[in-house]
A and B are shown apart, each in its own frame.
Chain A
Amino acid sequence: MAQRAAVVGVGITDATSPRKQTRSHLELCQEAAWAAVEHAGISPAELDGVVVGNIDGFEGTVLGGKHITRLLGLGPHLPMVVLNTGGTTGGNLMQVAARMVRAGTHQRVLCLGGPTFFGVRDLQSAINTNSPMIVEQPLGMGGFHMGAFAASAYQARHGTTVEDLASVVVADHQKAARNPYAHLRYTLTETEVVEGIPLSSPLTQPMVCPVSTSAAAMVVASDDVAAARRTPSALIRAMGTSSDPYLGGGKGDFAVMENLAALARRVYALADVRDPRAEFDVVEVFAPYVHMQPMQLEALGFCGPGEGIDLIRSGATDAGGDLPTNLSGGPKCTNAGVAGELAPYAYTALQVMGDAPEAIQVPGARTGLAHGTGGSFFQFENLAVFSQLTPQEQR
């Protein structure tokens, strides 16, 4: 029997660099999984499924999720699904868990994402292997090189300066400084960002996400399970995924996120969101490179083409603004791979449950938007709309 699905528990570990991390991949995953179960107020024996994500190759493993799940200590007979969709793995975890719950075959499903980039000596070299083989891999592009295409095209279209881009980094770091789970918790000036080490034009090192180590987990459950809780849950009102052609050159226009805009129209229609700027109390987008957040704000209908940076500079996306965005500091300040991709969903769910870390909680947040994206040139997008489900509203 079809039923609604809601996030009822979230677990996020603190984050640090691979060098400073003292816990293993498995230990981080255990910590996040157990925190999510505890937050949900259920016992591990009540789980009836696990959706675990990993990215083969980047982690130096094949189907690493299989090894992790068995060792979580959650019970011997837990059905498991391994997701391995590259950069969208984390964002897709909840989509798969929610479909299992909505189908009525599962009641409580754990989603789990660990640290993907934990240990690889040269991450850009690993990411180059993710580039389309044969026609694009031999050209020499790692993650931030491919990311820089959109930044360069956006600059050419709108006359965006490096100082404009730097202002987005400054805002992200101010937010991360308040999030106890964030990795880079220091603030930066525009000058420091502009004068950072050039990586791939126009991106400098501070404009690109760090390599973090952390884990994140969520429990997705049915209405009935949510109703039994004494505190609010995060109802998944609508969700969806969308894809561009796989080859980087198949993207028609690097200066605009057409694929995300199309997905937003579809998901907003499902959730009956008519005025996104007015209706969302909190937004978390997956923006590991600086230009992505303004471009995503445009594609999500919060402002017009080329206006994303002005929107961020206006303070609207800060805590206290009318569209608080990436109060976690976003993947720009904490990106552990699959855990980082799951993070926008985890933080948005926490916000509408009223359980985000005190320093970043948006008072009274009831409706939230979470976003994920991946692919060598970010060809793949995912979105979800959450609404607060209070105990008295539950059937």
Chain B
Amino acid sequence: MTSPLTQTVHWDLTYDVHLGNTWGRFMQGLREQKILANTCPDCSRTFVPPQAYCEACFVRTEQWTELPAEGDLEVFTVVWQGFTGGPTPPYAVGGIRLAGADTLLMHVVTGLDFSDPSTVRDQLPHGSRVRAVWAEDRTGQILDISHFEPAG
């Protein structure tokens, strides 16, 4: 008889993360079908999701703007192997450049035909136009944007 090799440990903990004013306002915007960004007064970079402070200039961000719910898909990956508790693969996640933003917004991208993995990449070439599709029930979270789909 071999000696015991492992013992099982399980964590299952729930937290309430407090959003604060900046992300609170962003999430309220999503509920109203608006993608809100803010801008650093020093370097003029526009952040989406918004940031309370500019990480480069260490100053408080000020001006708020609404960005179009459409942008260019700069990068994406197709998830073929997912993980416990995650969405069911295959699915695609991408970085989207909304017009006027200096950061990428990460989100789920749909409209791809996954039947032939070798063609997936060319279906949405670098810079493809995608637009936000709103969830029907919006509760103030990032998945109030259900996903982005090819536009046009």
A positions within 8 Å CB-CB of B: 22, 57, 60, 119, 121-122, 124-125, 128, 133-136, 138-142, 145, 148-149, 151-153, 155-156, 197-203, 245-252, 254
Contact = CB atoms under 8 A, between A and B. Distances in A.
Contacts of A121: 84
A244 to B, nearest CB: 9
Nearest to B81: A199
B19 A134 contact: yes
Contacts of B44: none
A247 B52 CA distance: 13
B133 to A, nearest CB: 14
A251 B81 contact: no
B101 to A, nearest CB: 9
Nearest to B108: A139
A265 B24 CA distance: 39
Contact of B81 (A138, A151, A198, A247): A198
Contacts, number: 119
Contacts of A148: 77
Contacts of B86: 124-125, 128, 140, 142
B106 interface: yes
Contacts of A156: 75, 125-126
A122 B83 contact: yes
Nearest to A126: B83
B105 interface: yes
A299 to B, nearest CB: 18
A304 to B, nearest CB: 21
Interface in B62-102: 74-87, 91, 93, 95, 102
B75 A125 contact: no
Contacts of B84: 121-122, 125
Nearest to A243: B55
Most chain A Cβ neighbours within 10 Å, of B5, B102, B103 = B103
B134 interface: no
Contact of B77 (A124, A149, A250): A149
Contacts of A254: 74-75, 95
Nearest to B117: A198
Nearest to A142: B83
B78 A200 contact: yes
A201 B121 CA distance: 8
B49 interface: yes
B107 interface: yes
B126 A250 contact: no
4 closest A-B pairs by CB: A124-B83, A148-B77, A249-B104, A198-B80
A149 B95 contact: yes
B83 A128 contact: yes
Interface in B9-28: 9, 11, 17, 19, 23
A167 to B, nearest CB: 19
Given A149-B76, A152-B75, A249-B95, 12 more contacts: A60-B11, A124-B82, A135-B49, A139-B107, A153-B74, A156-B125, A198-B81, A201-B117, A247-B103, A247-B106, A249-B48, A249-B49
